[in-house]
Amino acid sequence: MAITSENFIKWLENYAALLNENKAYLTDLDSEIGDADHGINMDRGFQAVLKKLPDAADGDIGAILKTTAMALISSVGGASGPLYGTLFLEMAKSADGKAELTLEEWAASLAVGVEGVARRGKAGAGNKTMLDALFPAVEALKQASSEKRHLKEALQASCNAAEEGMKATIPMVAKKGRASYLGERSAGHQDPGATSSFLMLKAAAESLA
Amino acid sequence: MKKLINNPDEVVRDSLLGVAAAHPDLVKVHFDPNYIVRADAPVRGKVGVVSGGGSGHEPMHGGYVGMGMLDAACPGAVFTSPTPDQIFEATKAVDGGAGVLHIVKNYTGDVLNFEMAADLAGMEDIKVEAVVINDDVAVEDSLYTAGRRGVGTTVLAEKIVGAAAEEKRPLAELTELCRKVNANGRSMGMALTSCVVPSAGKPTFELPEDEMEIGIGIHGEPGRRRVKIQSAREITEKLAEPVIKDLPFKKGDRVLVLVNGMGGTPLIELYIVYHELAKILDNHGIQVARNLVGNYITSLEMAGCSITLLKMDDELIRLWDAPVRTPALRWGV
């Protein structure tokens, strides 16, 4: 079973819809430990992605991901713009010229994207960031891939791992980003970046297979 | 909350249109991507000085574009860093052949977006240097935080470095000067209220009637601690003592004092704070060389204030006094 360009387009459309539905929720999370703009920014970014997607629809998966990256970089702003932009840009490089991805290739692509985020943000696991949802999702995909599981199962596993990772941010004290200015006060709140990352993997579980 | 706006999602655009209409002699406003540039840019042989950040802090940074201060400012969405394409286009627009200096406030978003823009500029052979301002003493600069935020000293750096740039000093010198200003400036702020991001429609945090936040940033984000509200005297002490201790500012030092309103506090109150601060500085034997009282780096309609102290020497005083002609600061012309 392979993931096609159509799947990728569906995924991005689905993610855009989830971000739109959850705009207020993400913003509320960001009010607790940030500056109340994460939901607004991600929604704006993915609305911009939707506008550009038709131009890339005929292209390979790399082109679709690159178009997404550039749209995000130029419309989201904040830290999320460069970080999500880097995620998609690095994934785009690994999927360059490909019309289809196997589960193994998707796992590798997401891994490379997430490494890019870690590098750019100079962050690691446990800092209370988007990485705390993304790292577990990558591990789950790699594991499922090595166990030769079905695509749908693997995608669901990575979604579940992301959800657990997102929830695990609640007790963490933030060490990166705006939440880190709050020190201990950031504990007890779910990280907005980890939440939007979970939604991305949720959309993937629904649309990439 | 009541705001004087049209469509909440068009606040930045509407406001930029107002800036363009109000100050055509000083600035030009470029849309898509958005940036404000001095009307006579690029000035040949002069280093272009560029800054930017989220909107909602006016007059910072757009109000500081003009002769003697910034060549360009990039306004992001409210409280959101501008994007690399804005900063890149602004950088190109002010490149007078002598390189460009980016003055960047230390927030993850600002740093990342300016970094990406500098990469883009580098690919087009424009020499860009960046200095990160991180003067806020409320945050511990440690491995465990995103570092100290850039706040009031940013405004002072833009003026001082802008004056030096006007003298056609080279990029390396201006970079050093900006670092020196950053190293000698310290700030701390407090809030009596939160603020409402237009698209969010409600306050970023709830502050009960009898409480205040100490150690706030400029984005309506909650601060370090929340305590019962006190008198202006006690509040000023709570801000001044950590600032003085942090550098430390010593007896005999000459300082530039900025008593800054967060946007929602009236001037009558800021002057009360200034009075308290003047007494504290006098007690410490610290001399006030220059001062600024008013709204210079705000957080929409947040009520509160911040204080910034910058250790001065003869050169910094001369550059502070140098002529400036921008929408928000104008003297010597």
> Which residue ranges make up each domain of chain A?
3-207
CB-nearest partner of B80 from A77, A121, A180: A77
List the catalytic residue out of B57, B61, B102, B284. Answer: B57
Q: Answer yes or no: do A37 and B138 touch at CB < 8 A.
A: no
Mean pLDDT across A159-185: 89
Q: CB neighbours of B333 closer than 8 A, spacing ≥ 6?
A: B67, B323, B324, B325
- CATH fold of A3-207: 1.25.40
Say if residue B127 is in the same domain as residue B229.
no
Co-location of B34 and B90 in the same domain: yes
DSSP symbols for B11-30? HHHHHHHHHHHH-TTTEEEE
A124 shares contact with chain B (CB less than 8 Å): no
Hey, what are B149's tokens? 């935020």
Decide if A33 touches B, using CB distance below 8 A: yes
Range of the domain at B163: 8-183+320-331
For residue B19, tell me if it sits in a domain. yes
* Separation of alpha carbons B162 and B252, rounded Å: 27
* CA proximity to A36, closest of A21, A20, A24, A45: A24
Same domain, B78 and B141: yes
Please tell me whether residues B199 and B166 are part of one structural domain. Answer: no
Q: Is it the case that residue A177 has pLDDT exceeding 90?
A: no
Considering the domain architecture, whether residues B128 and B209 belong to the same structural domain is answered as: no
DSSP sequence for A153-199: HHHHHHHHHHHHHHHHTTTPPP-STGGGGGGGGGTTS--HHHHHHHH
Instruction: Report the pLDDT value the prediction gives residue B206, as an integer from 0 to 100.
Output: 85
In a domain? residue B2: no
Model pLDDT, residue B140:
67
Is residue A128 predicted with pLDDT exceeding 90?
yes
ipTM passes above 0.95 = no
Same domain, B20 and B102: yes
pLDDT for position B141: 63
Mean pLDDT, chain A, whole residue set: 94
A130 touches chain B (CB under 8 A): no
Q: Are residues B175 and B233 in the same domain?
A: no
% of chain A at pLDDT higher than 90: 85
Mean pLDDT throughout A63-75? 94
Q: What is the pLDDT of residues A186-199, one digit of tens each?
A: 899 999 999 999 99
CATH number for the domain harbouring residue B248: 3.30.1180.20
Measure A153 CA to nearest chain B CA, in Å: 36
Each residue's pLDDT expressed in tens, for chain B with a length of 333 residues: 899 999 999 999 999 999 999 999 999 999 999 999 999 999 999 999 999 999 999 999 999 999 999 999 999 999 999 999 999 999 999 999 999 999 999 998 999 999 989 988 988 899 999 999 999 998 766 566 778 999 999 999 999 999 999 999 999 999 999 999 999 999 999 999 999 999 888 888 888 999 999 988 787 666 668 899 999 999 999 999 999 999 999 999 999 999 999 999 999 999 999 999 999 999 999 999 999 999 999 999 999 999 999 999 999 999 999 999 999 999 999
Task: Please write the tens of the pLDDT for every residue from B173-214.
Answer: 999 999 999 999 999 999 999 999 998 888 888 889 999 999
Question: Which pLDDT value is given to residue B296?
Answer: 98
Verify that B168 and B22 share a domain, yes or no: yes
Contact B205, B222 (CB under 8 A): yes
**In this predicted structure, what is the pLDDT of residue B230?**
96
pLDDT score at B201? 87
Residue B3: inside a domain: no
Q: Are residues B324 and B244 in the same domain?
A: no
Q: Return the pLDDT at B221.
A: 67
Give B144's contacts (C-beta < 8 A, 6+ positions apart): A173, A175, A180
Best mutation site among A22, A35, A43 for testing chain B: the one with the most B CBs within 10 Å?
Answer: A35
